[in-house]
């Protein structure tokens, strides 16, 4: 039984939200964050990526970075930029990007549900990144970023949420990427109870994006539990914030690949090797960029030319939820054996490019001569993610790219 809990959100003043809300901490480099926030002292990047207010050469894991985040966070509260709601509430968060709409429940979820695998995972976490977010959350004393969660769509939940969005929103703005963000407050006891009960009937919730934020919240709970001998399990630090979207609204884009080497082969030899390893290779008609339209097909850009690759049946393992993924087929039959990219997590010769950047970005990087070949993939599905998580297994690295991204600085959950 999944737990979702209302909370007293700390959030920007209504007239300041468009200036405060910012991209998640992990989609911008420090330099990109500095540029984005340089003329905006109210940007939540001053909290989420507080190194932008320190010397550019500072170690990102230096204690001064976390102390600066806390200082900036407290200043936003003191100056009235961030104001706390007077009662426990749920929040409905809608995003519209082009013709895509997703609307979910912004709420607290339970650390115990995460540990007991009611909240299911599909990615490994890196210890350094997990420690970074642990220090950040604990020092600031709040969940400053949202975890992107999904669940099997339920008609009763859809009905309640759609009835909520007929009310007057508290926020409605368009961001720098032309994504529209709308938020409603749900603070009446009847709707809160109905939502909590409906979500409580779910057998599982799945992390789509935000594994490090989730794992770090668990570590923060352990730290604070040690400091509280009268710990009851009901304290706010036993929960973290996420947005729960139904699976039929979640949009996954491909996570494309580009490689800096042909492993000392000519382009002709490389193309021959691809054919020998189980792919049909065709030149794209009129040399048009090839965006795969179905699973097990790939676009490839090499020396100014676009190709279509199709995996033959002998290299497709349909009865295994991981082996059937296109990222795995490409890795096992091309990137590893032909190009020598055996560990894509660590190999510096491979770049990962989110599908939001389009095929033009692949062409640009190869034409720059810094990279030799690029691959466009068909995206994984939410069903793929859920099957792998249900089996207690881990997706290959960089398998999914979710859009639109959840804004940080929109609604914060205080741990004290």
| Residue 300 phi, psi (nearest 5) | -135, 135
Q: Which of 311, 334, 332 is nearest to 322 (CA)?
A: 332
Query: What is the band of 20 on the pLDDT scale with cuts at 50, 70, 90?
Result: very high
pLDDT by residue (tens digit) across 32-67?
Answer: 999 999 999 999 999 999 999 999 999 999 999 999
What is the reported pLDDT for 165?
Answer: 97
Please determine, for residue 170, whether its predicted confidence score (pLDDT) is greater than 90. yes
Query: What is the band of 238 on the pLDDT scale with cuts at 50, 70, 90?
Result: very high
Cβ neighbours, 10 Å, residue 141: 18
Give me 43's structure tokens.
């940007």
Q: pTM (2 decimals)? A: 0.93
Give me 309's structure tokens.
């690759």
Residue ranges of E strands in 130-254: 142-143, 147-151, 171-174, 180-186, 205-209, 239-246, 252-253
Tell me the average pLDDT of the chain: 96
Please determine, for residue 136, whether its predicted confidence score (pLDDT) is greater than 90. yes
Please determine, for residue 204, whether its predicted confidence score (pLDDT) is greater than 90. yes
pLDDT by residue (tens digit) across 300-358?
Answer: 999 999 999 999 999 999 999 999 999 999 999 999 999 999 999 889 999 999 988 99
* Mean pLDDT of the region 378-391: 96
- The SS3 assignment for 367 reads helix
* Mean pLDDT of the region 229-255: 96
What is the reported pLDDT for 167?
Answer: 95
Of how many residues is the chain composed? 416
To the nearest whole percent, how much of the chain has pLDDT over 90? 96
Please, which residues have CB within 8 angstroms of residue 274's CB and are 6 or more apart in sequence?
281, 309, 334, 338
Please determine, for residue 372, whether its predicted confidence score (pLDDT) is greater than 90. yes
To the nearest whole percent, how much of the chain has pLDDT over 70? 100
What is the reported pLDDT for 151?
Answer: 98
Question: Would you say 378 and 310 are in contact if contact means Cβ atoms under 8 Å apart?
Answer: no
pLDDT by residue (tens digit) across 246-272?
Answer: 999 999 999 999 999 999 999 999 999
Please, which residues have CB within 8 angstroms of residue 262's CB and are 6 or more apart in sequence?
270, 339, 372, 373
Please determine, for residue 186, whether its predicted confidence score (pLDDT) is greater than 90. yes
What is the reported pLDDT for 1?
Answer: 84
* H helix or E strand, kind and range, residue 82: strand 82-84
Q: Which long-range contacts (CB under 8 A, 24 or more apart) does 314-323 make?
A: 314/278, 315/277, 315/278, 315/279, 321/384, 321/387, 321/388, 321/391, 321/393, 322/388, 322/393, 322/395, 322/396
Give me 307's structure tokens.
């190709």
Please determine, for residue 126, whether its predicted confidence score (pLDDT) is greater than 90. no
> Token match 């996570």: residue?
255
Query: What is the band of 22 on the pLDDT scale with cuts at 50, 70, 90?
Result: very high
Residue ranges of E strands in 247-302: 252-253, 255-259, 279-283, 297-302
3-state helix, strand, coil in the chain (%, to 5): 35, 25, 40
């Amino acid at each position: 039984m999944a737990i979702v809990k209302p909370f007293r959100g700390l959030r920007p003043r209504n007239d300041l939200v468009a200036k405060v809300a910012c991209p998640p901490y992990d989609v911008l480099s420090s330099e990109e964050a500095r540029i984005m926030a340089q003329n905006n002292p109210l940007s939540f990047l001053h909290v989420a990526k507080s190194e932008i207010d320190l010397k550019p050469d500072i170690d990102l894991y230096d204690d001064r970075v976390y102390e600066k985040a806390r200082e900036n966070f407290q200043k936003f509260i003191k100056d009235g930029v961030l104001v706390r709601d007077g009662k426990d509430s749920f929040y409905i968060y809608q995003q519209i990007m082009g013709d895509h709409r997703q609307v979910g429940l912004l709420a607290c979820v339970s650390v115990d549900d995460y540990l007991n695998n009611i909240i299911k995972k599909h990615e490994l976490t890196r210890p350094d990144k997990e420690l970074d977010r642990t220090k950040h959350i604990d020092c600031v004393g709040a969940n400053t970023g949202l975890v992107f969660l999904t669940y099997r769509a339920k008609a009763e939940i859809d009905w309640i949420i759609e009835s909520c969005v007929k009310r007057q929103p508290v926020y409605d703005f368009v961001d720098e990427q032309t994504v529209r963000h709308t938020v409603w407050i749900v603070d009446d006891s009847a709707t809160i109870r109905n939502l909590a009960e409906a979500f409580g009937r779910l057998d599982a919730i799945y992390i789509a994006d935000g594994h490090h934020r989730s794992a770090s919240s668990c570590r923060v709970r352990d730290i604070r539990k040690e400091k509280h001998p009268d710990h009851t399990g009901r304290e706010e630090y036993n929960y973290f914030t996420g947005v729960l979207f139904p699976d039929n609204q979640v949009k996954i884009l491909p996570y494309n690949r580009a490689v800096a080497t042909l492993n000392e082969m000519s382009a002709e030899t490389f193309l021959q090797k691809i054919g020998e390893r189980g792919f049909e290779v065709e030149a794209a008609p009129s040399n048009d960029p090839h965006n795969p339209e179905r699973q097990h097909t790939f676009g490839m850009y090499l020396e100014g030319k676009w190709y279509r690759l199709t995996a033959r049946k002998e290299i497709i393992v349909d009865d295994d939820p991981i082996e059937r993924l296109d990222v795995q087929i490409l890795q096992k039959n091309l990137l590893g054996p032909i190009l020598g990219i055996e560990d894509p997590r660590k190999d510096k010769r491979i770049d990962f490019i989110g599908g939001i950047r389009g095929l033009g970005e692949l062409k640009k990087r190869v034409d720059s001569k810094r990279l030799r070949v690029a691959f466009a993939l068909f995206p994984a599905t939410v069903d793929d993610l859920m099957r792998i998580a249900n089996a207690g297994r881990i997706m290959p690295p960089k398998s999914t790219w979710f859009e639109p991204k959840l804004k940080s600085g929109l609604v914060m959950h205080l741990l004290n």
